[in-house]
Amino acid sequence: DTGVSQDPRHKITKRGQNVTFRCDPISEHNRLYWYRQTLGQGPEFLTYFQNEAQLEKSRLLSDRFSAERPKGSFSTLEIQRTEQGDSAMYLCASRDWGRTSSYNEQFFGPGTRLTVL
Amino acid sequence: AQRVTQPEKLLSVFKGAPVELKCNYSYSGSPELFWYVQYSRQRLQLLLRHISRESIKGFTADLNKGETSFHLKKPFAQEEDSAMYYCALSGLTGANNLFFGTGTRLTVIP
């Protein structure tokens, strides 16, 4: 296991198109987080999963965004009808929550950079 | 509402000089505080957290609840410390997601 992986690393799309990103967390990590990072800002929380259950969504996650983690392993983030304001780095992180320590680290993936033309 | 403030977007110091990256926070409750670092072309990684009270790569950070600060310090900067540094906090219940500051880019001049 080489850590959290994300695919693709870069995505260029035209406004109005749909895009889907994938995140593979560290094996056995039960929590998975999605963040978005725009230029000059720190990452901002979008949503998280505990196993396959999506437990919280931030107000940044508009109706055009949907995330899934169907088997409690990998996760996908889909953006429908993309807008130029969606251009950002999308980061995924995972952690092992509750089974060993409450203070386990979040491990980040390399991110998917989305450019909407 | 939670907030993390990093007042300096850019910070340059000479090699061997002390460095301090400032972080102030606001949170209704007792958060956990972190420093994350991103080196060039690498992913975001944890540098240290207040609860472990340890020194990593010569860096330390003390949580000052009275001043709601968590400044990152190193007595002698090295060139390999040049990176983007993010201060972040997490609540102790619920999602435990991270709230990040806007980051400080540290450049260590040889």
pLDDT in the model for residue A105 = 84
- 8 Å CB contact of B44 and A40: no
Q: Tell me whether residues B98 and A35 touch, CB distance under 8 A.
A: yes
State the Cα–Cα distance between residues A84 and A65, nearest whole angstrom. Answer: 14
pLDDT in tens, B26-79: 998 888 999 999 999 999 999 999 888 788 899 999 899 899 999 999 999 999
- pLDDT, residue A100, reads 59
- pLDDT tens digits, residue range A16-54? 999 999 999 999 899 999 999 999 999 999 999 999 999
Q: What is the pLDDT of residues A70-117, one digit of tens each?
A: 988 999 999 999 999 999 999 999 998 776 555 568 999 999 999 999
CA distance linking residue B39 with residue B107, whole number of Å: 11
Are the C-beta atoms of B64 and B50 separated by less than 8 Å? no
Q: Which residues of B are less than 8 Å from A5 in CB distance?
A: none
Structure-token pair, residue A69: 């983690």
β-partners of residue A34 are A47, A92
pLDDT tier at A2, thresholds 50, 70, 90: confident
User: Do residues A46 and A58 lie in contact, with contact meaning Cβ atoms separated by under 8 Å?
Assistant: yes
On whether the CB atoms of residues B34 and B90 are closer than 8 A, the answer is: yes
As a whole number, the mean pLDDT across chain B is 93
Mutation target for B interface from A103, A104, A113: give the one with most B CBs within 10 A: A103
A106/B43 Cβ within 8 A: no
> pLDDT tens digits, residue range B41-51?
999 999 999 88
Which residue of A31, A32, A34, A45 to mutate against B (max B Cβ within 10 Å)? A45
Give the A:B interface size as CB pairs under 8 Å.
53
CA closest to B40 among chain A residues: A110
Cβ of A45 within 8 Å of Cβ of B99? The answer is: yes
Length of chain A: 117
Predicted pLDDT at A54: 93
A57: exposed, middle or buried (Cβ count in 10 Å: 0-12, 13-18, 19+): middle
Cα separation of B100 and B70, whole Å?
A: 13
Quick check: B103 contacting A, CB < 8 Å? yes
Q: What is the 3 state secondary structure string of B56-98? A: ECCEEECCECCCCECCEEECCCCHHHCEEEEEEEECCCCCCCE
Q: pLDDT (tens digit, 9 = 90+) per residue, A6-17?
A: 999 999 999 999
- Measured CA to CA, the distance from residue B109 to residue B63 in angstroms comes to 28
Report whether pLDDT(B83) > 90: yes
Q: What are A44's strand-pairing partners?
A: A36
Contact map slice: B 53-82 vs A, CB within 8 A: none
Does A19 reach chain B within 8 Å, measured CB to CB? Answer: no
Give residue for tokens 């991110």.
A111
